Structure 1
Amino acid sequence: MKSILLIGQSNMAGRGFIKDVAPIYNEHINVLRNGRWQMMAEPINFDRHVSGVGPSASFAQAWTEDHPGESIGLIPCAEGGSSIDEWTIDGLLTRHAISEAKFAMETSEIVGILWHQGESDSYGERYKTYEEKLRSLFKHLREELNAPDIPIIIGELGHYLGEVGFEKSAVEYKQINQVLSKVAHTEKNCYFVTSKGLSANPDGIHINAISQRKFGLRYHEAFSKQKHILDSLDFEQEWIEKVAKRELTKNERRFVQSTKFALGQLSFGEFSINISNINERE
């Protein structure tokens, strides 16, 4: 199985409202939880009790479409609110991400790293030292994972920052984006993904659910084509609508019913009838 390491802060973890998008269920997408691979369900990255939709679900869904019958694993290690100074080579977050990645490597092959971070460094002239710290992190990750050529996909900060809500103070996001772009264009096997046209939740900092679906597609396009994505993709909305109508497999339908029962949305009788109906259909 292939796997992807997810690192950065809250917009990689995901804060999009789950109710705003159709769920993605796919028996070929797994998430590393408590040392075991489990079928993916959002939220994927439980860094906070308010976790929601991030870019990784649509990234992984697009990957499975390009690799029929194969499986991909997601390794969630993003931490909301974290600054670049918390991603030092000896920092707790970096050590945790490397530990999780190495554990995942026992049963999978890590083929990419998705990075989205910088909102917490978009003030106080922190951009002046950001580049050196980011390059140091990427170099360390590749060395520790013994993966010198692993692709690293870097997402741009939202263009809505610095206007309203919690990130009204993020007035230097443009400078951080310039650094992110520079690193992506000069580091080996690094690719930049635009946030052009993406929108935020009412809090003014977190990318909303629909935009996260689009962002994940852009991350995948950069990863699969090994190129920078500097504009929105023509098929983003069409793809979202197509995935929402995708017919679930037998295992996926069982998973959905089990989830609803566990959440108290179905009685045991209703659950039993629905599972029986699923079994009888095939």
Structure 2
Amino acid sequence: MSALLLALALMAQKPDVYLLTGQSNMSGRGLVEELAPAERLPDPAITLYGNEGTIRPAVEPLDTAIGQVDAISTDTIAAVGPGLFFARGLHGLNGRPILLVPCAKGGSSMAQWKPGEGRDTLYGSCLARARAVGKVRGVLWYQGETDAGRPDSAAGWRESFEVLVARFRADLGGKNLPLVLVQLADPPSPEVSAPKTYPAWAAIQAVQAGPIPECVAMVPAGGLPLKADTLHLTTAGQRTLGGRLAVAMDGLLRKGCR
């Protein structure tokens, strides 16, 4: 099939919608300059519902703050995250066109993701975007670094996460809506992160390891390359993570999670 015929065939299909939720490592801090030339080009199978409220070709950075509709989600230093790598990987596995919806906020805690309807909340803003583009097929969640900086936060992380999953499913109309959770990467170096410390890092990782709700999968980020700040994944790290997310989401879909 020619490239033109392939593009027309993909346009005729309604794309599967995936939400990119969490904090800065989902928004992305990898360097655009470290992408391969082909990775900087749009793919006819993958589109983006941008922060400005329009559907357009998906190119990095996905979570750009240009033209933001919801100030609550503005991230002026967003760069390369796992979303586009995920979409390319999943499309390669199932052949379906994909529409990505950025819903991440750098530095956000689990408490800030408490479900609420208003567009002045992270959840409400994300929900409004999801409703604007149609039925959501799945959710990616990468969050926990901020909570790892609070000694007592790990105790409530699992309960808050389970509430969030249940609310996503209730509001988006999917009883078993698939969600893939990223377990935190290696802890930041104390020498680099000081005076900021992360006393609950290992505890959050342990909670994220399970048990987790039905139709939720966990992929680890441990061992992936980190930037000099030892907190954010490099572009290479995000590339690997995106592939893992694609395989995990494909597995959930093949199990019948909807």
Report the TM range for the smaller structure's normalisation.
0.7 to 0.9
Shift of residue 55 of structure 1?
0.5
The runs of 5 or more residues in structure 1 that have no matched partner are: 228-282
* Secondary structure in structure 1 of the residue aligned to 2:29: coil
Counterpart amino acid of 1:148? K
Given that 1:10 and 1:81 are in contact with CA atoms closer than 8 Å, whether structure 2 keeps it comes out as yes
Shift of residue 35 of structure 1?
2.9
What is the root-mean-square deviation in Å for CA atoms of aligned residues? Answer: 1.7
Partner of 1:99: 128
Given that 1:161 and 1:173 are in contact with CA atoms closer than 8 Å, whether structure 2 keeps it comes out as no
Given that 1:161 and 1:171 are in contact with CA atoms closer than 8 Å, whether structure 2 keeps it comes out as no
Higher relative contact order (CA 8 A, sep 6+): 2
Given that 2:90 and 2:247 are in contact with CA atoms closer than 8 Å, whether structure 1 keeps it comes out as no
Shift of residue 173 of structure 1?
1.1
Partner of 1:181: 209
Q: 1:45-124 residue pairs with structure 2 within 5 A?
A: 45-46=63-64, 47-68=74-95, 70-90=96-116, 92-105=121-134, 109-122=135-148, 123-124=150-151
* Secondary structure in structure 2 of the residue aligned to 1:226: helix
Between the aligned partners of 1:165 and 1:189, the Cα distance in structure 2 is 37
The runs of 5 or more residues in structure 2 that have no matched partner are: 1-14, 65-73, 254-258
Between the aligned partners of 1:116 and 1:189, the Cα distance in structure 2 is 16
Given that 1:163 and 1:204 are in contact with CA atoms closer than 8 Å, whether structure 2 keeps it comes out as no
1:171 aligns with 2:210: no
Between the aligned partners of 1:21 and 1:171, the Cα distance in structure 2 is 33
1:28 aligns with 2:39: no
Partner of 1:126: 153
Partner of 1:38: 56
Shift of residue 171 of structure 1?
2.8
* Secondary structure in structure 1 of the residue aligned to 2:231: coil
Shift of residue 164 of structure 1?
4.0
Given that 1:162 and 1:171 are in contact with CA atoms closer than 8 Å, whether structure 2 keeps it comes out as no
Which of structures 1 and 2 has the bigger CA Rg? Answer: 1
1:138 aligns with 2:165: yes
1:159-185 per-position Cα deviation (integer Å, ceiling 9, x unaligned): 133534347511321110111121xx4
Given that 1:164 and 1:204 are in contact with CA atoms closer than 8 Å, whether structure 2 keeps it comes out as no
TM-score w.r.t. the length of structure 2 is 0.81
Counterpart amino acid of 2:213? E
